[in-house]
Amino acid sequence: MPSTLSVSEYLIECLQEMGVRHVFGVPGDYVLSFFKKLSESPLQVVNTCDEQGAGFAADAYARLNGLGVACVTYGVGGLKVANTTGGAFAEMVPVLVISGAPGRQERLNNPLLHHRSNQFDTQKKIFEQITVASAELNDPATAMAEIDRVLDAIMRFKRPGYLELPRDMVNTPVELQPRPAALAQRSAPEALAEALCEATEKIAAAECPVIMVGEEVHRFGLQDLVLRLAEKTRIPMAVSILGKSAVPETHPLYMGVYAGGLGDASVREYFENSDCQILLGVLMTDMNMGVYSAQLEQRKIISVSSEQIEIEHHFYDQVTAQDFLDGLANGILSKHIYPWVKPPLFSTELDQTPPDQKITVQRLFQHINAFLNCDMVVISDVGDALFGAIDLVTCRSAQFLSPAYYTSLGFAVPACIGAQINHPGLRPLVLVGDGAFQMTGLELSTVARYHLNPIVVVLNNGGYGTERPMIDGPFNDVLNWNYSRLPELLGAGKGFRVETEQELVEALEAARENTDSYSILDVRLAQNDISPALQRLTSSLGQRA
Amino acid sequence: MPSTLSVSEYLIECLQEMGVRHVFGVPGDYVLSFFKKLSESPLQVVNTCDEQGAGFAADAYARLNGLGVACVTYGVGGLKVANTTGGAFAEMVPVLVISGAPGRQERLNNPLLHHRSNQFDTQKKIFEQITVASAELNDPATAMAEIDRVLDAIMRFKRPGYLELPRDMVNTPVELQPRPAALAQRSAPEALAEALCEATEKIAAAECPVIMVGEEVHRFGLQDLVLRLAEKTRIPMAVSILGKSAVPETHPLYMGVYAGGLGDASVREYFENSDCQILLGVLMTDMNMGVYSAQLEQRKIISVSSEQIEIEHHFYDQVTAQDFLDGLANGILSKHIYPWVKPPLFSTELDQTPPDQKITVQRLFQHINAFLNCDMVVISDVGDALFGAIDLVTCRSAQFLSPAYYTSLGFAVPACIGAQINHPGLRPLVLVGDGAFQMTGLELSTVARYHLNPIVVVLNNGGYGTERPMIDGPFNDVLNWNYSRLPELLGAGKGFRVETEQELVEALEAARENTDSYSILDVRLAQNDISPALQRLTSSLGQRA
């Protein structure tokens, strides 16, 4: 069947159908003609300074949008997003990496073309390790099926995929193929019935069951089912760190973050004393489990994931999360009043302190909590920016983003680009340590270029603060930048240097008013000051030792 | 045999024996105990802002030192140096990547530990694609042999190697093993005799033989042999771009860069009209061959590489480059006077122009040529910073560094750290486009931290200038930074904004005087201005088409 669509046009059409409106990347000669096609399409190209920035931006975009795309050149571009793709794999983020490549014709006689590291298929072999599907689009007869296969796998598993596009294939017509019907996952009816029966009995028999909501609930769009189940039964809900904001934090049944010793003590006590712990889409990562300070007992557990249902010590692998949650939410479970009582919401009334009081990590987070509103998305980088943020209260779904499992430093600034490009009405509040900022913070150039207006709070404690309590040395120091002077380099933005509480309050208010550009707050903290969450964890691990 | 050496101590001792004095990296918890060991050893840890910077710095250090080391944490660190390692593989740079990793004990029951992307061996599988040898040091009985094997392979092939060090192995004693004698490469005597006889006859019969010196001559330390051969026979020597400065550019037999249409026209004419082209360690990359504008004829060629000797259309794979060059240099070839006559050295007398003349790319490189002295190393990033630098004259071995094959943007600024840390007396003159600077230029923070004093010339033409003539669009633009204001952000350095020739001259002189810190010159060029070399290439490719 003759086609008027080229490989690149078919790919762009698929992306549009899947709700993608932006592509993050850096051009290079092997991908230039595809960038040209993108710029002529309804998709908008967002140029980052470095490919690493594109990778993180696409990740954040994907978390909000359901699919994100990073587009780079061969070798020098592709290998730079190996880390961001590895992170998206770990945290189940549906990102497509499109890499340009030398044309098929150019590869004859195996020449040493620039950007080639080892063999021509080296980059694809690398991405096979960190994606759920990958393809080199080197054949017009299979290009369409290969694009479909990779995109289907990304959506099915919510993990990254990889497409390599030789530059002489960009304008090559695809041979149209009838598209096979997508295979929906189905439960085996008897297994489903058995699992539901067992779980229903277990929950009904419990005195104080509790739900823990994880990241998969957000990724797979199961929030409504989870809320229906909780509301029907009145079982209170905690969240994992990585799942934070997957259900609204203002919901009457919302408890807070459960993360062993890292989370709130009252949440922990209720959760660990519960006789039936219903884990919904929770990745059992070390961080989610409070660096394994969490004390869960397998005999109490019902765990639902995209791959299987687990009850106590046995598994059902023929039952989907969707069917199981649907069955529970619509089944015979009835409403109870369980012993948990929601405490009053975090008060925005702060204790008064002298205005020249030096700012501390604890007070910084209290002020930020008071400052947050429902038009903001909190994006936390790794370290105490993340630990401290556990105690923040955000108010609607997906208003908290962080790489809380893979924990790659430098995520937050580029991520705020992806988030706000996706959702211009959502203003990013970025929490980032100075060490992380020095990795990717200059992506504020991209922020300036695209007229975004995040508020960036640099937790400046002179180095890798969470490493110091483990093993310290000069290798944990970083140079002290004048972060508030960054606008002079970039020719955009407003900078604030903050040493006292009063200066913080004033800077936050000025940043709120500054809607035309980014604001950056250089918050000078004592080197060994840490957040309450990290204090709890240290104390909890200390008790265990 | 009981040992008092731990795995980390043995590794550090090996590195010291091989002449390593510095390790570039960023710490993270899986590698913290190894960083501690490093900081207690004679090796100096050099902290970069981002792992990418450590990778490029280790690369440049390796080019000058013979071995360089990047040390990173698992996943979020390791995958960030995939690109720099891929580049070192392509350009035959002996870099060792050491990655921390979760301890063997921690991996029991396959937990989801932070920094884990897919499986625990995912990172090692990735590095297998871009290194000549790799090992996970997970067994005290084999750790020593594995370290030896990886280091031997790096030195044998002059390409990167990878060692993964689980954190619970850092202090584990190695079981000492008798170290097998290193296997030296040997030529098969009869093959060597035949190859030498054939090559000698071919050279002796030629009317105007010519030598082209490539990067392997520098990597394998063959410079003296090459010079002996050239001086004995008086055969003139060109270099490849990647091999530039492998022989002294002030040598009476030095012709200049041969790179087809990219290089000097008179060098090209002589080289391509030669009836015997002796290629010594030249990688036949697209860039070295002037984007394939080079016109070489196989029947004229004698090509010597680390893997084989090639004469016309046949190969000798049992003959080493060392033995072959030694045989040629000490053989029966006699001295001739060939027709090439060295032109006078580049004049440092510049034509006078009005002082307020706008600066152009051509004049910029002329001024830099006049500015260079023998205590400087030129480090060129990719793009016109590299093309323009082809015409620069540097004066001793290894005074020119660039990623002229893999061409990864962002190489130069972090590379200047590795170069000057290795050789404090050598002042880096960094040539970098604005697009490349925005990727890694903030590693000037590391420059400031370690009190280095490079002179950084930003060729500011508002974007990816070498891509515009191919396919242009807004994706080739970058935000225009006030590069000269960077010292205000970093609290160190001197910045200069340059628009005219006079300002350039003054800024270069002020930079020369500023030996206490880095200097950065924001050289504002017209968007479509290009170097003479790039003009030659365009014209040459135009004639071919």
The mean per-residue pLDDT over the stretch B181-196 comes to 90
* Percent of the residues in chain B that have a pLDDT greater than 90, as a whole number: 87
Rounded average pLDDT over B339-346? 77
> B448: nearest CA in chain A?
A479
Return the structure tokens found at A391.
């105690």
B449 to A479: CB separation less than 8 angstroms, yes or no = yes
The mean per-residue pLDDT over the stretch B508-527 comes to 98
Among residues 138-197 of chain B, which lie with CB inside 8 Å of chain A? Answer: none
Q: Nearest to residue A256, comparing CAs of A369, A109, A425, A383?
A: A369
Q: Do A442 and B442 touch (CB under 8 A)?
A: yes
Lowest mean pLDDT among A252-266, B122-136, B406-420: A252-266
Helix (H) or strand (E) run with residue B11 in it: helix B7-17
- Whether B450 has its CB under 8 Å from any CB of chain A: the answer is no
What topology does CATH give the domain B361-538? Rossmann fold (3.40.50)
Query: CB–CB of A320/A292 below 8 Å?
Result: no
Beta-carbon separation of A76 and B83 below 8 A:
yes
What six digits make up the tokens of A414?
Answer: 């580029």
Give the pairing of strands A309-311 and A301-304: antiparallel
Residue A312 has φ and ψ, to the nearest 5°, of 50, -115
Establish if A280 touches chain B: CB-CB under 8 angstroms.
no
Q: Which two tokens stand for residue A369?
A: 């909590």
CATH code given to domain A361-532: 3.40.50.970
Tokens at A304, concatenated: 């639902």
Residues B367-388 have pLDDT tens digits of: 999 999 889 999 999 999 999 9
Nearest residue, CB atoms, B467 vs list A32, A474, A489 = A32
Residues of chain A with pLDDT under 50: 1-2, 545
- R_g (Cα) of chain B, nearest Å: 24
3-state secondary structure of B366: helix
Q: Confirm or reject CATH 3.40.50.1220 for domain A189-329, answering yes or no.
A: yes
Q: Give which of B479, B480, B520 to mutate to test A binding, by max A Cβ within 10 Å.
A: B479
Say which amino acid occupies A39.
Answer: S
End-to-end CA distance of chain A: 69
CA dist list (Å): A446 to A156, A493, A523: 32, 12, 22
How much is the pTM? 0.97
Q: What is the mean pLDDT of residues B414-421?
A: 98
Residue B1 pLDDT level (bands cut at 50, 70, 90): very low
B117: nearest CB among A89, A410, A476: A89
Q: How many other CB atoms sit within 10 Å of the CB of residue B197?
A: 13
Residue A86's alpha-carbon distances to A92, A164, A291, in angstroms, are 10, 17, 21
Q: Is A86 close to B122, i.e. CB distance below 8 A?
A: yes
- Least Cα distance to A446 among B481, B466, B443 occurs for B481
Predicted confidence at residue A347, as pLDDT, reads 60
In this prediction, residues B127-140 reach a mean pLDDT of 97
Question: Is there a common fold for B7-169 and B189-329?
Answer: yes
Q: How many CB atoms lie within 10 A of CB A433?
A: 28
CA distance B376 to A307: 60
**Subunit contact B478:A285, Cβ cutoff 8 A:** no
Are B522 and B482 a contacting pair, CB within 8 Å? yes
Closest CA relative to residue B238, chosen from B47, B436, B390: B390
Residues of B in Cβ contact (< 8 Å) with A116: 90, 406
CB contact under 8 A, A28 and B467: yes
Say whether B98 sits in a helix, a strand or coil.
strand
Judge contact between B508 and B516, C-beta under 8 A. Answer: no
Q: Is the pLDDT of residue B19 over 90?
A: yes
The ipTM estimated for the assembled molecules is 0.96
- Residue A461 · residue A437 · CB < 8 Å: no
Distance CA A55, CA A71 (A): 9
Chain B CA closest to residue A445: B479
Asked if B86 and A117 come within 8 Å (Cβ–Cβ), the reply is yes
Q: What is the pLDDT of residue B532?
A: 92
Query: What one-character DSSP code corresponds to residue B466?
Result: T
- B482–A114 C-beta distance less than 8 A: no
Termini Cα distance of chain B: 69
Please indicate whether, in this complex, the C-beta atoms of B115 and A476 are within 8 angstroms of each other: no
Confidence band of B398 (pLDDT split at 50, 70, 90): low
Give the relative orientation of helices A32-39 and A7-17 as an angle to the nearest 10 degrees: 50
Cβ–Cβ contact B231 with A under 8 A = no
Calpha distance A341→A236 (Å, rounded): 9
| Strand (E) or helix (H) holding A305 | none
Tokens of B500: 């005219």
CATH of A7-169 among 3.30.390.50, 3.40.50.970, 3.40.630.10, 1.10.10.10: 3.40.50.970
Domain boundaries, chain B: 7-169, 189-329, 361-538
User: Is A36 in CB contact (< 8 Å) with chain B?
Assistant: yes
Of B25, B33, B286, which is closest to A111 when you measure between CB atoms?
B286
Q: Are A104 and A164 in contact (CB under 8 A)?
A: no
